[in-house]
Amino acid sequence: MTGALLEIRGLRAVFDGFAALDGVDLTVEEGELRFLIGPNGAGKTTLIDVITGLTRPAAGTVRFAGTDLVGRREHEIVRLGVGRTFQTAVVFEELTVVENLDLAASFRRPLWRLLRRRRGVDDAVREALAVTGLTELAERPARVLSHGQRQWLEIGMLLVQRPRLLLLDEPVAGMSRDERARTGELLTEIARGHTVVVVEHDMEFLRRYASRVTVLHEGRVLTEGSVDEVRADPRVQAVYLGGTREEAGDAVG
């Protein structure tokens, strides 16, 4: 641990009078792999939207590497080193895997380099292909990729932009068992060189790959701790599953 990379204080986001975030305080240390869980509507995606400049908060601060992000535009926040994925992967269907990565990498290249014809594959693109396991598929169009491979490509498209912080919104949703395991390994590997925040519902996935978990509920942080601590917390059992403690215990445990 080398200090806080992301410091959020008193964050509020309001839609038509409804507070989707209602005073969120969250600190993520540099180098952490942090999981964010919570029932539907808890505010997880809204939190990512506010950090990345898509939604403007009504109040509160978001400090990233000492810089306040509130009021900055999305592309500025990307340039400062914050990358995100969406619940549905956004890739260019007709471009090949390597072209998708190359295009994403171009966002951090100076214009004069974009205008020159490029030779060979950028180091960052090569690394992203290797880490996501897509090297063999580099020349295939993105439209032929499986659901899991598209998610990995999208993560690769973030990595080539060399972010310090990656925010991943439900990266394993809809994946097969094998794809989930591969994604867990991928996240673990990425977290060696980056700070990563992952929104995830899947308890089995959390048990395997999460160390520290933050639970959001009704726009606030309910609790934070190790997977075991969070699972044992009766408040989490009660709200996360919305049922009785016994029912919740079965599902969380």
Ligand X SMILES: Nc1ncnc2c1ncn2[C@@H]1O[C@H](COP(=O)(O)OP(=O)(O)OP(=O)(O)O)[C@@H](O)[C@H]1O
* CB-CB contact of 28 with 197 (8 Å): yes
* CB-CB contact of 173 with 85 (8 Å): no
85 binds ligand X (CB under 6 A): no
Nearest to 215 by CA among 195, 192, 231, 194: 231
Token readout for 52 is 């990345």
153 binds ligand X (CB under 6 A): no
20 binds ligand X (CB under 6 A): yes
Return the number of the residue (19 or 65) whose C-beta is nearest ligand X: 19
What's the chain's length in residues?
A: 253
Q: What residues contact residue 72 under an 8 Å CB cut-off, 6+ apart?
A: 53, 80
187 binds ligand X (CB under 6 A): no
* CB-CB contact of 108 with 158 (8 Å): no
15 binds ligand X (CB under 6 A): yes
107 binds ligand X (CB under 6 A): no
2 binds ligand X (CB under 6 A): no
Strands (DSSP E) along 110-219, which ranges? 165-169, 195-199, 212-217
Number of neighbours of residue 224 by Cβ within 10 angstroms = 17
Compute the least distance from the CB of residue 200 to ligand X, in Å. Answer: 10
Which of 17, 40, 111, 178 lies at the binding interface for ligand X (CB under 6 A)? Answer: 40
Which of 4, 11, 26, 43 lies at the binding interface for ligand X (CB under 6 A)? Answer: 43
Return the number of the residue (15 or 107) whose C-beta is nearest ligand X: 15
Count of residues engaged in binding ligand X, rule: CB under 6 A: 10
Segment near ligand X (CB under 6 A), from 40-48, 58-66, 126-134, 245-253? 40-48
171 binds ligand X (CB under 6 A): no
Compute the least distance from the CB of residue 115 to ligand X, in Å. Answer: 38
Distance CA 145, CA 198 (A): 23
Calculate Rg over the CA atoms of the chain.
19
Segment near ligand X (CB under 6 A), from 42-50, 104-112, 140-148, 222-230? 42-50
Footprint of ligand X (CB under 6 A): 15, 20, 38, 40-46
